[in-house]
Structure formats: C-alpha cells, structure tokens
Amino acid sequence: MVHWNRGRADGAAATKLSPSRGNLPPGEQAVDGVRMEKSRIVEALGEEGLRLPALLNEALAANDRAKVLFTVLQLARGCADHPGAAMPALRAESEAGGAAAAGFDDMAAAALRRPEGDYYLPGVDRLCARLHGELEAMLAPLPAAGVDASAFAARLARLARAPWCGEDDVISAAQIATLASGGGEGGDSVHRLVMDVHKALNALQAGIASETIDGASAYCLAPGDRARVSAFMRGVNRTAALKFDHPGLGTTATRDGARLVIQNDIGTTDAHVLVVHVEPPRVRVTYTDVHMQRLLFFQSLFDGRRVEWEDTLSRTDRHVEDGIYHLCVGTFAAEADAELEDHLAFLGSRLVFLIDWNRARKRLRLLLPKKEAMELLKWAADNDHGHMAFLRAGGEQMIFDALAFVSRAPASFGARLDDVLGREAAVRFMRFVVRACAQGLAEGRPEDLVRDEVRAELVNYFRSAQEGVLDVAAEHAAFALEIAAGIRDALMAPAGGDGARALARNAARAKAWEHRADELVNDARAQSRRQSERAQAYRALIELADDVVDELEEAAFHLSLLPREPGDGALLAALRPLAALAVESAQEYLKAVETARTLHRGSPREDTQDFLEAVHRIMTLERRSDEAHRAAKSLVPSRAEPYAQLYGFVECARNLEASTDALMHAAVSLREAVLGEMVVQ
C-alpha cells in the first residue's frame, strides 16, 4: 500500500508505487507500480509501427480513469460534509473509465469528516498511487512521438513533493484541492495537469491519425489498405454488439513497409493482443493470451478455413499473470482479393467471442462437464450467439434459481445440470439458454423476461424427463403382465411330459423377461439420477414394481418344479385363481401407468377417475389374492405327498400372492406421485 505522506530531503516522493493486483480493474496488473500495458506486448512482438498508437490509446484511457478518480474525491468530500444525503450513482461513470472494480465508489460512500476538519477516506493512499500512475501513462506517448514533455514532467514532480494524503486513510481539504481542483488564479493542481496533458494528447492524436475507418484509428495507410481495414472492421462491427457495454475491440491500423498491420486489443486482459499482417495474398495473424485454453479455442474458430497454425510458443514476462503468456501464429493464403477481404471480415467477427471467455468457461463448468462446456462455447461462437448475454442474464445462478423453482427445492450442492437432466438433455437445454439470452437481450427484452423464458423451458425438460421415466415404467409393467399371463396359461397345460416341458419353457421365458425388466430399472435410475423429489418418486415407483417382476419370475420357476402327475389337479386348480388375480392386477397397473403419462392439472375428470379406479381395483385384487393364497395353503396339511413334492406348489402360491402385494404398493406409490405432481403444477 502506498502512503503519499513521507518526503525525502530533495522533496520527491519517497515511496515507490506498488498497488496490489486486487486494487486494479479487471485485466490490469501492477509490478513495482507499473501497470502491464498492452503496448509492452506490441513492443515484444516487434511491432514498432504500432507502439506509438498503442501508447496513445492507453494514455487516453488513463485520462478517462483519472477523471473518475477526481470525481470520487469530490464525491467523497461531499458525502462526508453532508452525511445522510443521497449519494449520486458512480457505477456507470466508473465502468466507462475502467475503474469500477477498484472499489473507489465504495470508498466515497464510507467517507467521514473528522473533528479536526480533515477527512477519513478508506483506501485514499491507494487512490493517490493510482492517480500518479495514470498521469505517468498519459505522459508516456509524448516523448515516444518526439514531443517535449519535460514541462509536464516537472509539474508532476513539483506537485508530488508535498504529500497527496496523510497516514491512516486521512486526507485534508487542502490536499483534496491540490488533487481535484481546477487550479484557478494561477495555481496548479493535479487535475489541471491532467487537463493540460489531455490537450497535448489530443493534438498528438490529430497529428498522427490520418483517418478513422469504420471505427479503426488509421495511420499512414497506402491507398489499397483502406478496403482491407474496412473489411476487418465490417466483421468487428457485425458482432461487436454481443459484448454489450464491455470494453474492448479497439482497433489500430498502420502501414509498416510492404505490409498493412492491424492491431486489436480485444478486451481488458493483459497480454491479450491480436496483430494482423496483410501482404496479399497472405493474412498472418499473431495472437497472444495468458490462457492456453482460450488460445486453443481461438484457433478452433477457424476450423475448415485453410488457416495453417505454427507451433504455439510460451514466453516469460514477470508482469503478466503467472509470469507467462502464450503466442500462436496462423497464416491464410487467399486465392483472390475478395477471398482475402472475406477472411479479414471473418477474423474480425470472431474477436468478440474471446471477451470474458474464461469467466464464461468457469461458469459453465458449474453446469456441464468440461468437454461439453467447451463445446457449448464453440457452438455459441459458430452460431454468432456468444456468451456475454448469458453472463449478463445471471449466468449459472439463473440456472440454479430455475432448478430450485422447478424442483421446489434448492439445487443439490455440487450437482451439475447433467446430473439432473442427463448429459444430452443438459447440452440441448444450455444451447437454448445461450440462444435465448443472446436473442432476447439483442432485441431489447428485459432480463427478467429472458430468465422467465429459461425457467419455462426447464419446466418442459423436467416434464420430459419425468414422462421418460413413466415410459420406462409402462414398458416395465408390460413385462410383469407378460410373465403373469405366461404363468396363467402354463397352469392350463395338460398333465404329463408335454405339460412339464411347457412349464420349463415358461420359466425360461420369464427369466429372460425379468432380465430385460432389470435393464429398464437401470435406465430409470439413470434418467432420474439427482432429479427433483417428484422425479425421484417415479424412479422409486419402478424399483417397487421391480419386486413384482422378481416375484412373478420366481413363481414361474417354482411352478416348473411342480410334478405334473394326473393326481396334482387340485394343486393346479388352487394356483389358477392366484395367477388370474396376478394377471388382472398387472393389467390394472399397466392401465394406471399409461393414464398417468398424460395426467396433469386440468386433465379431464374422466381420465383422473379412470386412474384412481385402476388403483382402487388393484387394492381390491390384493385382498382377494390374500384369500386365494390362504385357500391354497389350506390344501397342504391334507396332502399325502412328501414336502419335497409340495415345495414348488407352496412357493409358487407365495410368489403369486407377493406379486399382487407388490403391485398394490407400486400402485399406491404411483397415486401419491401423480396427485403430488398435479397439486404443485
């Protein structure tokens, strides 16, 4: 932290500027007080022709930021002098000056006037250090252009001899005046110095900028260059609206010997620069980035467009994040001038999709797996939707809020969207979200309306997921009915060898159906994994119904153990009512599931009545099955056969009764799930 309150014997400021990284706007870094400027990257790339324009652009941006700092000081003094008064909004002005993230507007709100007459401004030493840095940035292009800036430098040194603030976040009224006043009546101030340097910068810009081409600052162009710069800007301007009010995409063009050089600063991130060399028929792009993943994404935007990429290089620079940035070079060879201009336009149109890309990637990783998140960003760029609208509309929090609304419960901690909807459905839904946000905000629809559209679409996905589970439930119920019908028919087979073989075939068929039913249960678990409580209820329903299939398959197996002798007619007769009741109960359950697939609030009363009557009949059939089971058991004490021969009969009867009992539990579970769904819709 810098304290502008200690002077050396020679009167110069003794403390080296060293604001922390967290005190600077997004994308700006400082080491030993020197902000990492994009002009350093331009210089490192050997683009001397672009260095002066880059310095000038940075100086003009520094002027905007300095004006914001003066406003903060004046606003803070006003808030301290008049506590309780409404504070004017500073956010929009701060964002325009690139200083919103520095927290200086919060400092103004916390300002207090002390009894001694001076002011307590938390972070004022940081503001003073920042202001000094902005002045240094404003002075930088003047000597680079051969302009004598010694008088400005001397004024800055003279103004810096006296402390700009006191210790412990205190500043006096006189110090505020030295910084922020207009410096009238022959006096000088930092504000007056900023205004004078700004005039010199405007004169310098007028002297070196020959023209502006569709928003690009152009310097010393040859006659044929203008059409190519215009083509590049045609692409930039076509998609620039997708960044909304985010800074970036400033473009500079100049002639360097035999080649046209175009530079775009993309966004506010350090070391994020694009330089284009145009020497027909070739267009050579050099791109630097601190994020390797974004560099690879940038390259992927040109898939299928005959761009040849050289090996990516990594360069060390202590001023950038993690001390390293990456560089790639791609060359496109055009077959005609029209194709060259088309490529320049396409190149310009892709740059907006790099702004805040890393933030979007991190947000999407909370919703989708890494691969799908990257593919979504690529899809959004390829379809000119972009990701900035998604971020503006609320990003991942918009999705979590929608999930909480649809499921009537907070989203599970750590659960991604693919855990809820499944991977393919989650990707489809997120494509809808990105497209709806981009189109909605571009058309001027309120963000709240866009969020409601996202919520409504998610309701459809949840309904589709639940209907999918019910589809599985219906197919599963059909297997239960087939096995029950097979047992019923097998009990009608004649005695003797043919009958025994029929029972064995039925048991084998039941085993195969039971295996397929198990696969359906696994499908249902996969579809409803980590879904809402209502969807979980449908999955639990299928797991209950799986007991039905298990009991019926066991009944078919035990029936195959029953000896088929002429004297076993009474045993078979006792089992037939149980089998018939199992078939009827399975039929009613299948009917109930099929009806449930279309039931919702507002469904015809007849459909709801049919559903409830089917559930009621299943409950009645279960009681009748209990009675038939007791009748079958009552035969056992009177039989003369050894228990080994009666085992198949006893177990088959028990399995058939248990299947109707399981069907009753499944039907009741289905009723609760369906009625609960209708209540909350």
Judge if 47 and 113 occupy the same domain: yes
Identify whether the C-beta of residue 216 lies closer than 8 Å to the C-beta of residue 203.
no
Task: Work out the pLDDT band at 406, boundaries 50, 70, 90.
Answer: confident
Q: Give the other-Cβ count within 10 Å of 453's Cβ.
A: 18
> Does 220 fall in a domain?
yes
> Does 456 fall in a domain?
no
Omega before 566 cis (within 30°)? no
CATH at 671: 1.20.58.220
Among 412, 445, 478, residue at a domain's last position: 445
Task: Work out the pLDDT band at 52, boundaries 50, 70, 90.
Answer: confident
For residue 495, the model assigns a pLDDT of: 60
pLDDT greater than 60 at residue 530 = no
Judge if 329 and 372 occupy the same domain: no
> Does 5 fall in a domain?
no
Q: Is 669 helix (H, G, I), strand (E, B) or coil?
A: helix
Judge if 114 and 32 occupy the same domain: yes
Q: How far is CA 368 from CA 237, 295, 416, 417, 526, in A?
A: 31, 21, 6, 6, 17
Judge if 47 and 119 occupy the same domain: yes
Long-range contacts of 522-525 (CB under 8 A, 24+ apart): 523/472, 524/469, 524/472, 524/473, 524/476
Judge if 194 and 233 occupy the same domain: no
Among 333, 351, 369, residue at a domain's last position: 351
pLDDT greater than 80 at residue 48 = no
For residue 532, the model assigns a pLDDT of: 46
What's the pLDDT tens digit per position in 541-570? 777 788 888 999 999 999 888 876 655 678
* Mean pLDDT (whole number) for 197-214: 81
For residue 362, the model assigns a pLDDT of: 93
For residue 618, the model assigns a pLDDT of: 93
pLDDT greater than 60 at residue 3 = no
Task: Work out the pLDDT band at 154, boundaries 50, 70, 90.
Answer: very high
> Does 6 fall in a domain?
no
> Does 641 fall in a domain?
yes
Q: How many domains does the chain have?
A: 4
> Does 197 fall in a domain?
yes
Range with top average pLDDT, 415-429, 498-512, 608-622: 608-622
Among 304, 320, 351, residue at a domain's last position: 351
* Mean pLDDT (whole number) for 657-667: 92
Range of the structural domain that residue 306 is part of: 213-351
DSSP string, 534-545: HHHHHHHHHHHH
Long-range contacts of 2-6 (CB under 8 A, 24+ apart): 2/33, 2/125, 2/126, 2/128, 2/129, 3/125, 3/165, 3/167, 4/125, 4/128, 4/129, 4/132, 4/160, 4/163, 4/164, 4/165, 5/125, 5/163, 5/165, 5/166, 5/167, 6/163
> Does 191 fall in a domain?
yes
Task: Work out the pLDDT band at 609, boundaries 50, 70, 90.
Answer: confident
* Mean pLDDT (whole number) for 602-615: 81
**Would the pTM count as exceeding 0.75?**
no
Task: Work out the pLDDT band at 12, boundaries 50, 70, 90.
Answer: very low
Task: Work out the pLDDT band at 32, boundaries 50, 70, 90.
Answer: very low
Q: Nearest CA to 171 among 112, 85, 130, 131?
A: 112
For residue 209, the model assigns a pLDDT of: 64
pLDDT greater than 90 at residue 510 = no
* Mean pLDDT (whole number) for 172-183: 85
Identify whether the C-beta of residue 257 lies closer than 8 Å to the C-beta of residue 222.
no
Judge if 467 and 597 occupy the same domain: yes
* Mean pLDDT (whole number) for 98-114: 70
Judge if 541 and 645 occupy the same domain: yes
For residue 39, the model assigns a pLDDT of: 62
pLDDT above 70: percentage of residues in the chain? 79
pLDDT above 90: percentage of residues in the chain? 35
Task: Work out the pLDDT band at 24, boundaries 50, 70, 90.
Answer: very low
For residue 9, the model assigns a pLDDT of: 30
Judge if 217 and 283 occupy the same domain: yes
Mean pLDDT, the chain, integer: 80
For residue 639, the model assigns a pLDDT of: 82
Q: How far is CA 317 from CA 1, 55, 82, 271, in A?
A: 23, 19, 47, 10
Judge if 496 and 571 occupy the same domain: yes
Judge if 549 and 631 occupy the same domain: yes
List residues bridging with 274 in a β-sheet: 264, 287
pLDDT greater than 60 at residue 583 = yes
For residue 564, the model assigns a pLDDT of: 65
Q: Which helix (H) or strand (E) holds 218?
A: strand 216-219
> Does 4 fall in a domain?
no
Contact residues for 517 (Cβ-Cβ < 8 A; gap 6+): 476, 479, 480, 546, 549
Q: Give the other-Cβ count within 10 Å of 21's Cβ.
A: 11
pLDDT greater than 70 at residue 17 = no
Task: Work out the pLDDT band at 164, boundaries 50, 70, 90.
Answer: very high
Judge if 229 and 202 occupy the same domain: no
Judge if 433 and 414 occupy the same domain: yes
